[in-house]
């Protein structure tokens, strides 16, 4: 079964071979035929986890580093500090064990460049840094990552075999 959330803390069942996550969406799944995908990650960061023993995985398309300045609302995958706990609780509910998880990050590129953006906040770096910090506080080791740079990415998690493929814009995919 695949569970998906779009800006909501309560998962909504959804099945299908490929599920594309939009901005601020997250999904967890134990369906071996499912593929979770984030297309066009620029400064956004994808958080991906997979437990090979039970073939359960999850992904979030995180837009901003933290929810501190946000209006009071239910937890959403839009923010790194809320998305990671949502995905972790989701995969645990499907039988995953945190100690067995393969943890991967992708995205966090610098998309706005040039003289007009010199000295400005780089949201891609801030998103990646926030994810690194939160994962360290939860004692989750990152197995692989493809973050930074200046190009957008697409990332896919195939639940059947746990493969995680990332591709930079206009280039072939490679496994992480």
Residue 158 has pLDDT above 90, yes or no: yes
Q: Is residue 176 part of a domain?
A: no
Q: Is residue 68 part of a domain?
A: yes
pLDDT cut 90: percent of the chain above it:
69
- Concatenating the DSSP letter of every residue in 34-55 gives -EEEEEEESS-EEEEEEETTTT
Q: For the chain, give the mean pLDDT.
A: 86
Q: Is residue 171 part of a domain?
A: no
Distance (Å, whole) CA 106 – CA 78: 15
Domain carrying residue 37: 2-8+15-163
State yes or no: is 38 an active-site residue: no
On whether the CB atoms of residues 61 and 122 are closer than 8 A, the answer is no
- 17: confidence class by pLDDT, cuts 50, 70, 90: confident
List 21, 28, 44, 157, catalytic entry: 44
- CATH number, domain containing residue 154: 3.30.1330.200
- 164: confidence class by pLDDT, cuts 50, 70, 90: very high
Q: Is residue 135 part of a domain?
A: yes
Q: Is residue 168 part of a domain?
A: no
Question: What tens digit of pLDDT does each residue of 32-81 get?
Answer: 999 999 998 999 999 999 999 999 999 999 999 998 876 656 778 899 99
Q: What is the pTM of this model?
A: 0.86
Q: Which conformational region is residue 107 in: left (phi greater than 0), alpha (psi within -120 to 50 degrees), or beta?
A: left
* b/e per residue 83-114 (b: at least 16 CB within 10 A): bbebbbebbbebebeeeebbbbbbbbbbbeee
Distance (Å, whole) CA 13 – CA 150: 35
Q: Is residue 173 part of a domain?
A: no
- How many domains, the chain? 1
């Amino acid at each position: 079964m695949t569970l998906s959330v779009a800006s909501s803390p309560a998962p909504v069942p959804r099945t299908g071979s490929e599920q594309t996550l939009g901005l601020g969406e997250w999904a967890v799944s134990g369906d071996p035929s499912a593929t979770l995908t984030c297309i066009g990650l620029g400064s956004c960061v994808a958080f991906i986890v997979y437990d090979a023993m039970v073939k359960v995985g999850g992904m979030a398309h995180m837009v901003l580093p933290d929810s501190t300045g946000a209006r009071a609302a239910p937890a959403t995958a839009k923010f790194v500090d809320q998305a990671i706990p949502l995905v972790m609780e989701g995969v645990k509910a499907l039988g995953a064990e945190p100690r067995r998880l393969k943890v991967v990050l992708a995205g966090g590129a610098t998309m706005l460049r040039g003289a007009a953006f010199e000295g400005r906040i780089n949201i891609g770096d801030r998103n990646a840094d926030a994810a690194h910090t939160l994962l360290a506080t939860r004692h989750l080791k990152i197995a692989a990552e493809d973050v930074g740079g200046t190009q957008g990415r697409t990332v896919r998690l195939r639940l059947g075999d746990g493969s995680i493929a990332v591709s930079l814009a206009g280039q072939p995919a490679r496994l992480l």
